[in-house]
Chain A
Amino acid sequence: MRAIGIILAGGNNHRMRELSQKRAIAAMPVAGSYRSIDFALSNMSNSHIQRVAVLTQYNSRSLNEHLSSSKWWDFGRKQGGLFVFTPTVTADNSSWYRGTADSIYQNLDFLKNSHEPYVVIASGDCVYKMDYNKLLEYHIAKKADITVVCKDLPEGTSVERYGTVQMDDDNRIEDFDEKPIMAKSNTISCGIYVVRRRQLIEMIEKSALEDRYDFVKDVLIRYKNLKRIYGYKITEYWRNIASVEDYFSTNMDFLKPEIRDYFFRQYPDVYSKVDDLPPAKYNVGANVRNSLISSGSIINGTVENSIIFKKVYVGNNCTIKDSIILNDVYIGDNTYIENCIVESRDTIRANSYHQGENGIKIVIEKNDRFIL
């Protein structure tokens, strides 16, 4: 084992609007059967990284529930394991995680007690498949201190909410802008890094002494001229769930055959917690077109260009169009839903009408459900 893993899954994001009210972004359901952290966890597992820490803070309960057992990702071995670290009060610390670097600092013992030479840092809110071993080999070949995974976004895409990088011909990063208003490049950082473990400990300890808490601002950018920081470009699918619009379009991407083939059929697989739900059921009146339907759902109405998550009930004569229905939603008869995201565990009464105009509407009704 050459590396250990750290998954940063602590953050809240106001651009996710109401969807982040009850869960961490890393616990956002994606593509019918998964949570966004499954992608990073599966990548770790498939890259044979066996010791993985998940650093979580905001609404950590949602994530804890999902990570209640490590067996789904094949961690939980005698060597290694999955560790979920939330902030704790100790003799010399009573703070929450004040930033990404601080979250690592507060769990520095995890790094110190490992023996693997490298650390792969990933974030829990990205949808992608990646063999971290290739990244590691690149890192070693370049004799880099830090390697940052980067991706070229299509010309003209707004990169305002990403960190952008500029590289020289050898892919060494010359400049780094965090969330620039005027971007100098359309190459963005994907929030995935490789660092030598001792190097990381040293940099994090130093930042902590100076009361600096952010990994990007206070480590990457500060060290960019001092250390050899390289970019590793990926061309495969990579999306980051940072806003409702991103979340919506990332899910809708899975209606495309090539994306489904890449994630669902090609090696390696993405793993998630198994829910033991029965197969999806279609009754008379079901009319489903170009949609993903997950297990445990019962469909009685029309579903078009939509993603239906697990255990959803769609009543008679309903129409669901261009929408995402999250887990365990009950939709009463004669309901019309278009261009919406319906929050999980919600109950939509019969004869409701929801349509997202000028963008995606998030439906949260919090009605009581009467179970027969």
Chain B
Amino acid sequence: MIKKEMIAMLLAGGQGSRLGVLTSKVAKPAVAFGGKYRIIDFPLSNCINSGVDTVGVLTQYQPLRLNTHIGIGIPWDLDRNIGGVAVLPPYEKSANTDWYTGTANAIYQNLDYMESFNPEYVLILSGDHIYKMDYEVMLDFHKEKGSDVTIAVMPVPLEEAKRFGILITDEDRKILDFEEKPDNPRSNLASMGIYIFSWKVLKEALIKRADQPGLDFGKHIIPYCYDKGLSLFAYEFNGYWKDVGTLDSYWDANMELIDVVPEFNLYEEYWKIYTKSEILPPQYISGGSVVERCIIGEGSCIYGKVYNSVIGCGVVIGENTIVRDSIIMNYAELGKDGEFNKAIIAEHTKIGDRVKMGFGEEVPNETDPHIYDKGIVTVGEKSVIPNDVTIGKNSVVFGITTAADYTNLTLASGKTLIKAGDEA
């Protein structure tokens, strides 16, 4: 008989539209992070390091990259005889076929998957945070308190609390009340979107509230459990936890990795972060190059000068090209004599010689001022940028561009150049 004490359900179906063109072809959890990783590597590694060996990954938006990355879970040791990792996309049913309409709805549509492991507890995770957390300690807390639902929380500065779901607890961490993005927060404990449910409680709640459109954990399931008088507890987490939902926070979190002793340390011996490694060769740093305050992935070749940057695997940086405060993802190729300031360059991008980025005035972006800001230049995956182009701040390029797409080989600050379509 199959029996797993706790299984995890990892929500990885969201687009993450605030990451702009970075997520136009991939789901947010599959976006590259920290040189060689993808965001989903962090919760997946946490699972296996916590002894959770059964993980359902719920996918919906642009799942191809995510599917190939996860495969059968070999990099995380999640290729198991029983359990392991399973990718769970929405599927057709005999009646009312639906996409996943909300976080809890996605879980509801996979009741059979969870049931097949006969679990005691179900851990709900989301695939868009960078952190190291031992879910087993959280489970111990859940058991010790005799809790029905345990919500992981994090103390945040009171002035920031209004951006989060806030939980009000007693001294024993029993949840007394909660409020969503309150104007006058009564507590500084923010929900991290990580839940442990006792299986029977979860199942009952999902079935009872199944008809709710856009069924969501924060909006519907937790209030349902609360109203029913179940015991809800808050588990306080004090480690590093970073939401990388916006380009700005994504850029910050990457840059924190290059501190001398980063708060989030990838070099610790225990609690390794695993990822699918495609390339093995060491990186080559040529004569005449500079690498200072940066991390660089396997197989990259650096002929230029790199400062304060996060460079992925298989990247080529041409002679005399200067890269500053930038994130260059896997397999991007940068030509010679260029200069890049605060650029985020996605995978498989090809950039010509003498290209300059991040110059000029800071002008708000013309199409999405809330996405492309803080002076960051963003280039989407598989884009091509011809020789001699200069690109201003807060601008975005996506697609195969030629000199004809630019005025005088210049894209001014705040401009958006997106060449969509299958040819792009």
The chain A residue with its CB closest to the CB of B275 is A276
Further contacts, 15 of them, CB under 8 A, given A255-B284, A292-B282: A31-B281, A260-B281, A264-B281, A270-B280, A276-B272, A276-B273, A276-B277, A278-B35, A278-B266, A278-B273, A280-B295, A281-B258, A284-B292, A290-B287, A299-B291
B293 touching A283, Cβ below 8 Å: yes
A308→B34 CA distance, assembly (Å): 21
Chain A residues contacting B34 (CB-CB under 8 Å) are 278-279
A309→B275 CA distance, assembly (Å): 20
The chain A residue with its CB closest to the CB of B282 is A32
Known: A33-B298, A71-B74. Contact between A286 and B292, CB under 8 A? yes
A285→B307 CA distance, assembly (Å): 11
Q: Report which of A280, A288, A308 forms a contact with B289, defined as CB distance below 8 A.
A: A288
Query: Is B116 in the interface zone, CB < 8 Å from A?
Result: no
Query: Is A298 in the interface zone, CB < 8 Å from B?
Result: yes
The chain A residue with its CB closest to the CB of B291 is A282
Query: Is B235 in the interface zone, CB < 8 Å from A?
Result: no
Query: Is B210 in the interface zone, CB < 8 Å from A?
Result: no
28 contacts between A and B (CB under 8 A): A33-B280, A33-B282, A71-B74, A255-B284, A264-B281, A264-B299, A269-B280, A270-B280, A271-B280, A274-B75, A274-B280, A276-B275, A278-B266, A278-B267, A279-B313, A282-B293, A284-B293, A286-B292, A287-B290, A289-B287, A290-B285, A290-B287, A291-B284, A292-B283, A294-B283, A295-B36, A295-B298, A296-B267
B292 touching A280, Cβ below 8 Å: no
Chain A residues contacting B340 (CB-CB under 8 Å) are none
Q: Nearest-CB distance from A261 to chain B (Å)?
A: 10
A98→B398 CA distance, assembly (Å): 65
The chain B residue with its CB closest to the CB of A272 is B280
- Across the A-B interface, give the 5 residue pairs with the lowest CB-CB distance, nearest first: A32-B282, A279-B35, A278-B266, A264-B281, A294-B282
Q: Give B305-327 interface residues, CB cut-off 8 Å to A.
A: 311, 313
Q: Report which of B280, B286, B298 forms a contact with A279, defined as CB distance below 8 A.
A: B298
Query: Is B288 in the interface zone, CB < 8 Å from A?
Result: yes
A293→B280 CA distance, assembly (Å): 12
Q: Nearest-CB distance from B328 to chain A (Å)?
A: 12
Query: Is A223 in the interface zone, CB < 8 Å from B?
Result: no
A278→B36 CA distance, assembly (Å): 8
A282 touching B292, Cβ below 8 Å: yes
Known: A279-B34, A279-B297, A284-B292. Contact between A293 and B277, CB under 8 A? no
Q: Report which of B260, B267, B274, B285 forms a contact with A293, defined as CB distance below 8 A.
A: B285
A291 touching B277, Cβ below 8 Å: no
Chain A residues contacting B281 (CB-CB under 8 Å) are 31-33, 260, 263-264
The chain B residue with its CB closest to the CB of A32 is B282
Query: Is B296 in the interface zone, CB < 8 Å from A?
Result: yes
Query: Is B400 in the interface zone, CB < 8 Å from A?
Result: no
A251→B284 CA distance, assembly (Å): 13
Q: Nearest-CB distance from B291 to chain A (Å)?
A: 4
Query: Is A128 in the interface zone, CB < 8 Å from B?
Result: no
Query: Is B376 in the interface zone, CB < 8 Å from A?
Result: no
A293→B283 CA distance, assembly (Å): 5
Chain A residues contacting B295 (CB-CB under 8 Å) are 278-282
A255→B285 CA distance, assembly (Å): 10
B287 touching A279, Cβ below 8 Å: no
Q: Report which of A260, A283, A296, A299 forms a contact with B260, defined as CB distance below 8 A.
A: A283
Q: Report which of A269, A270, A284, A289 forms a contact with B285, defined as CB distance below 8 A.
A: A289
Query: Is A336 in the interface zone, CB < 8 Å from B?
Result: no
**Number of interchain pairs (Cβ within 8 Å):** 105
The chain B residue with its CB closest to the CB of A255 is B284
Chain A residues contacting B297 (CB-CB under 8 Å) are 279-280, 295
The chain B residue with its CB closest to the CB of A299 is B291
Type the 1/0 row for B143-155, where 1 means its CB is closer than 8 Å to any CB of A.
0000000000000
Q: Give B7-46 interface residues, CB cut-off 8 Å to A.
A: 34-36
Q: Give A274-329 interface residues, CB cut-off 8 Å to B.
A: 274, 276, 278-296, 298-299, 303, 307-309
Query: Is B294 in the interface zone, CB < 8 Å from A?
Result: yes
A282→B287 CA distance, assembly (Å): 16
The chain B residue with its CB closest to the CB of A305 is B287
The chain A residue with its CB closest to the CB of B277 is A274
A294→B280 CA distance, assembly (Å): 9
A289 touching B292, Cβ below 8 Å: no
The chain A residue with its CB closest to the CB of B259 is A283
A282→B290 CA distance, assembly (Å): 10
Chain A residues contacting B285 (CB-CB under 8 Å) are 288-293, 303
Q: Nearest-CB distance from B85 to chain A (Å)?
A: 16
B284 touching A282, Cβ below 8 Å: no
Q: Nearest-CB distance from B47 to chain A (Å)?
A: 15
Q: Report which of B277, B286, B296 forms a contact with A280, defined as CB distance below 8 A.
A: B296
Q: Give B227-259 interface residues, CB cut-off 8 Å to A.
A: 258
Known: A274-B277, A279-B34, A279-B297. Contact between A289 and B286, CB under 8 A? yes
Q: Give B180-226 interface residues, CB cut-off 8 Å to A.
A: none
Query: Is A34 in the interface zone, CB < 8 Å from B?
Result: yes
A31 touching B282, Cβ below 8 Å: yes
Q: Give A162-202 interface residues, CB cut-off 8 Å to B.
A: none
A303→B285 CA distance, assembly (Å): 10
Q: Nearest-CB distance from B202 to chain A (Å)?
A: 33
Chain B residues contacting A291 (CB-CB under 8 Å) are 284-285
Chain A residues contacting B258 (CB-CB under 8 Å) are 281
A31→B298 CA distance, assembly (Å): 13
B272 touching A289, Cβ below 8 Å: no
A270→B277 CA distance, assembly (Å): 13
Q: Nearest-CB distance from B310 to chain A (Å)?
A: 8
Q: Report which of A260, A269, A298 forms a contact with B267, defined as CB distance below 8 A.
A: A298
Q: Nearest-CB distance from A329 to chain B (Å)?
A: 15
Q: Nearest-CB distance from B282 to chain A (Å)?
A: 3
Chain A residues contacting B274 (CB-CB under 8 Å) are 276
A269→B277 CA distance, assembly (Å): 13
Q: Nearest-CB distance from B305 to chain A (Å)?
A: 11
Known: A274-B277, A288-B291. Contact between A282 and B296, CB under 8 A? yes
A33→B299 CA distance, assembly (Å): 10
Q: Report which of B36, B267, B294 forms a contact with A282, defined as CB distance below 8 A.
A: B294
A286→B296 CA distance, assembly (Å): 13
A294→B283 CA distance, assembly (Å): 6
Chain B residues contacting A286 (CB-CB under 8 Å) are 291-292
Q: Nearest-CB distance from B125 to chain A (Å)?
A: 21
A292→B296 CA distance, assembly (Å): 12
Type the 1/0 row for B390-406, where 1 means its CB is closer than 8 Å to any CB of A.
00000000000000000
A284→B292 CA distance, assembly (Å): 5
Chain A residues contacting B272 (CB-CB under 8 Å) are 276
The chain A residue with its CB closest to the CB of B77 is A276
Known: A278-B273, A288-B289. Contact between A34 and B280, CB under 8 A? yes
A291→B290 CA distance, assembly (Å): 12
The chain B residue with its CB closest to the CB of A282 is B291
Known: A284-B293, A295-B297. Contact between A289 and B288, CB under 8 A? yes
A235→B296 CA distance, assembly (Å): 34
A274→B276 CA distance, assembly (Å): 9
A292→B292 CA distance, assembly (Å): 16
B286 touching A290, Cβ below 8 Å: yes
A279 touching B296, Cβ below 8 Å: yes
